[in-house]
Amino acid sequence: MSIADYLLALVFLAVGGGVQATLGIGAGLVAGPALTVIEPELLPGPMLAMAMVVNVRNAVADRHSTHVLAWKRALLGAPLGLGLGAVVLSFTNVKTLSLLVSFFVLGAVALQLSGLKPPSGTISDYIAGTATAFSSTVAALPGPMFVVFHGHRPPGTIRGTLASFMLLVTPAILLFLAIDGRFGFRQFALAVALAPAMFLGLLLGKALRPRISIDRFRVIILSVASLSAVAVIIRTIAS
């Protein structure tokens, strides 16, 4: 990775981290499409590892708003999602992964805009865990799938509940990726080298939260994510 690529990745990750610290989701949604072009090996392992920085903050800061029963139920569905994700990853190369991440982003945006509100309850929490673990394993995109099932809750509840879930699921995903040869020393080093961006994201999120309209901010983020994904798809198909 060149210095220019490193600095560009820092910018995307800092913005993504700031979005996630504000909304509870967004690091992979904002940074993912660009990272597949800058350095494909940043997904999914390093991205998930770096997001742990924000997840720790959200889990602690929003612990009183966290829906504990929801994330515990979601954990029951996580092994199935991880297994399905492992199967999909076994058939992907770098180009396929770039397209997969981009289409995941577009699909996630469509779900957010659809206003879909599945019924709450044990089954929905289980499905949320399966879907979130799957999208995390394949594309480092836990938030959009989780919000489909929990988007009706207050921002603090979304942040704390998803963060608590991911703090337990991410190590399992990284272990699988390590066994599969997709998260070795190089990927770990990339995560460490770019981790400062997530701390910058925390500062950005702290500055943004009291100053913005959450609904307006969500529209902007979904627009940026969509444009990034479309650009990556066009570039990947044309290459």
134-183: pLDDT as tens digits: 989 988 888 777 877 877 778 788 889 999 999 999 999 999 999 999 99
Look-up of token digits 């959200």: 58
Q: Classify residue 81 as left (phi > 0), alpha (psi -120 to 50) or beta.
A: alpha
DSSP 126-152: HHHHHHHHHHHHHHS-HHHHHHHHHTT
Burial 54-80 (b: 16+ CB within 10 A, else e): bbebbbebbeebbbeebbebbbebbeb
Distances from the Cα of 176 to the Cαs of 13, 97, 197, 201, in angstroms? 24, 17, 25, 27
Q: What is the pLDDT of residue 217?
A: 66
- pLDDT band for position 239 (50/70/90)? low
Cα(14)–Cα(78) distance, integer angstroms:
28
Q: What is the pLDDT of residue 125?
A: 92
Burial 28-53 (b: 16+ CB within 10 A, else e): bbbbbbbbbbbbebbbbbbbbbbbbb
Decide if pLDDT at 91 tops 70.
yes
State which H helix or E strand residue 113 sits in.
helix 94-114
Both tokens assigned to 59: 């889990």
Both tokens assigned to 26: 């967004």
C-beta separation of 3 from 184 below 8 A: no
- pLDDT band for position 46 (50/70/90)? very high
Q: What is the pLDDT of residue 169?
A: 97
DSSP 4-41: HHHHHHHHHHHHHHHHHHHHS--HHHHHHHHHHHH-GG
Look up the pTM and report it. 0.86
Q: What is the pLDDT of residue 65?
A: 92
- Most confident among 23-27, 53-57, 203-207 (mean pLDDT): 53-57
- Classify burial at 189, counting beta carbons within 10 Å of its beta carbon; exposed 0-12, middle 13-18, buried 19 or more: exposed
DSSP tag of 42: G
